[in-house]
Amino acid sequence: MTDLSLASAVASYAPGVYPVNELFETIQGEGIYTGQPSIFLRLQGCPVGCPWCDTQHTWALEQSDAAPYGEVIAKTEPSPRFVVLNAAQILAKFHERGFTAKHVVITGGEPCMYDLNPLAEVLEAAGYQLQIETSGTFPIQTSAKTWVTVSPKLDMPGGLHVLPEAMARANEIKHPIAMEKHIEALDALLARCPVAEHTVIALQPISQRPRATELAIKTCIERNWRLSVQMHKYLAIE
Ligand SMILES: C[S@@+](CC[C@H](N)C(=O)[O-])C[C@H]1O[C@@H](n2cnc3c(N)ncnc32)[C@H](O)[C@@H]1O
Ligand SMILES: Nc1nc2[nH]cc(C(=O)O)c2c(=O)[nH]1
Ligand code: SF4
Ligand SMILES: [Mg+2]
């Protein structure tokens, strides 16, 4: 799928309407909210193309993958099938499914391809707290209260750039790393795009690789940064 056809597929959704690849309740496994019971809403579509991405099934947004809600929630394997839901329908599904978490993680795919304000308005009015997981390559359209986790993507095939305003808005930077050069790239990004004083910085080893994990631990101790280890993968949960 070309970036242009992805962009026009995204633009075909009215504000407040979202293609949902997954909707489930689990424990947040990454970043500062690790351990927090959370509802995960995974939106379809991403043009960034990280070669090690663990959700490559969310990249394409093909109309032929639109599916009924029942099929999407019954998935047992990752697939690009998605259901189109509006904000009120998403909230209704939370109630119907008996979810008890009050923390909602909006991820993807790249959720910031969509205007998340209508969703934030509905969910916050119902007492939910929002967190978004984003690459920082699209303008962040969400409520002021949303916890924004930016996982910067540098030199990825999508050729997109991290936006200075995304870095400035971030409550948390969660940088995936495997090699020393990824830390150097983060240093250069932080010099070019400053973050707020309270912004938490975390390193996340790519795919549990032992050398990446060792490097992340060492660097976090040296810099007084946080370590994020994708706890759900160690626990083999969703
Ligand atoms: C799948 S992405 C979706 C949200 C958004 N596109 C982004 O990249 O932040 C969610 C998080 O998983 C991280 N991630 C994806 N694949 C990973 C991997 N193989 N190892 C470590 N982190 C990974 C991303 O960096 C991001 O922090
Ligand atoms: N448990 C769990 N925690 C997560 N934190 C971020 C995730 C993501 O895919 O964005 C994720 C995920 O897929 N599962
Ligand atoms: S930006 Fe996120 S969803 Fe897109 S390819 Fe990279 S890790 Fe995967
Ligand atoms: Mg994940």
pLDDT tens for 158-176 read 878 999 999 999 999 999 9
For residue 111 the two structure tokens come to 């959720």
Burial of 238 (C-beta count, 10 Å sphere; 0-12/13-18/19+):
exposed
Sheet holding 129-134, edge to edge: 83-86, 17-27, 37-43, 103-107, 129-134, 147-150, 172-177, 200-205, 226-227
Kindly report the protein residue whose alpha carbon is nearest to atom 7 of ligand 3: 53
Kindly report the protein residue whose alpha carbon is nearest to atom 2 of ligand 1: 108
Q: How far is Cα 38 from Cα 147, in angstroms, rounded to an integer?
A: 13
Tell me the best of 24, 25, 28 to mutate to test the pocket of ligand 2, counting ligand atoms within 8 Å of each CB and taking the most. 28
Q: Please tell me the predicted confidence (pLDDT) of residue 159.
A: 77
Q: Please tell me the predicted confidence (pLDDT) of residue 166.
A: 98
pLDDT tens for 80-133 read 999 999 999 999 999 999 999 999 999 999 999 999 999 999 999 999 999 999
Q: Please tell me the predicted confidence (pLDDT) of residue 24.
A: 98
CA distances from residue 102 to 14, 41, 108, 109, 149 in whole angstroms, order as listed: 26, 13, 19, 22, 18
Query: Does domain 3-235 correspond to CATH entry 2.40.170.20?
Result: no
Counting from 1 in the atom list of ligand 2, the atom nearest the Cα of 108 is: 10
pLDDT tens for 35-79 read 999 999 999 999 999 999 999 999 999 999 999 999 999 999 999
Structure ipTM over 0.95, yes or no:
yes
Q: Is 17 left (phi over 0), alpha (psi -120 to 50) or beta?
A: beta
Query: Nearest Cα to 10, choosing from 94, 69, 82?
Result: 82
Q: 4 or 218, which is more confident?
A: 218
Contact at 8 Å (CB) between 132 and 143? no
Kindly report the protein residue whose alpha carbon is nearest to atom 8 of ligand 2: 107
**Ligand 1 centroid – CA 171 distance (Å):** 16
Q: How far is Cα 199 from Cα 218, in angstroms, rounded to an integer?
A: 20
